[in-house]
Amino acid sequence: MKKTTVINSDLSRVIANMGHMDWLSIGDAGMPVPADIEKIDLAVTKQLPSFIDVLTNILSEMEVQHIYLAEEIKTVNPEQLTAIKKLLPDTPITFVPHSQLKQDLKQTHAFVRTGEMTAYSNIILESGVTF
């Protein structure tokens, strides 16, 4: 049995297959996912699992060099932004309009759906290298 913290087989596979500068997205329960992008649906019910819990789990196995967030998170969901910055304090952030973030999902390896029910709880993680 796997010893590391990501035990969801689909999520573990996607992370293991990522290379430098590849994208993985995590989002709230309402984010529309492009039809041709793999959706790893972890949502069980409202707020379960939370966006931050899933992000924390993924960061235990994925090297992240850059993140992309919706500009709107700054004013609509500043608490979530603070939580993200606490987990990734030294990681550069690019803010884009939410409409652009939705378009950018087409470039991700997969979208991880959480049970999060707060607005703009969506992120694109750009993978770094461990050497």
Helices (H) and strands (E) in the chain, counts: 5, 6
Residue of 7, 9, 20, 78 marked active site? 20
Beta strands in the chain (DSSP E): 23-27, 38-41, 64-70, 93-96, 110-113, 123-127
Residue 41, annotated as binding a ligand? no
Residue 28, annotated as binding a ligand? yes
User: Annotated catalytic, 20?
Assistant: yes
Residue 90, annotated as binding a ligand? no
Beta-carbon count within 10 A of 126 CB: 20
Residue 122, annotated as binding a ligand? yes
3-state secondary structure of 4: coil
CA distance 38 to 112: 9
What residue has token string 């959706």? Answer: 39
Beta strand pairing status for 38-41 and 110-113?
parallel
Binding site: residue ranges? 28, 98, 120-122
Binding site for substrate: residue ranges? 28, 98, 120-122
Catalytic residues: 20
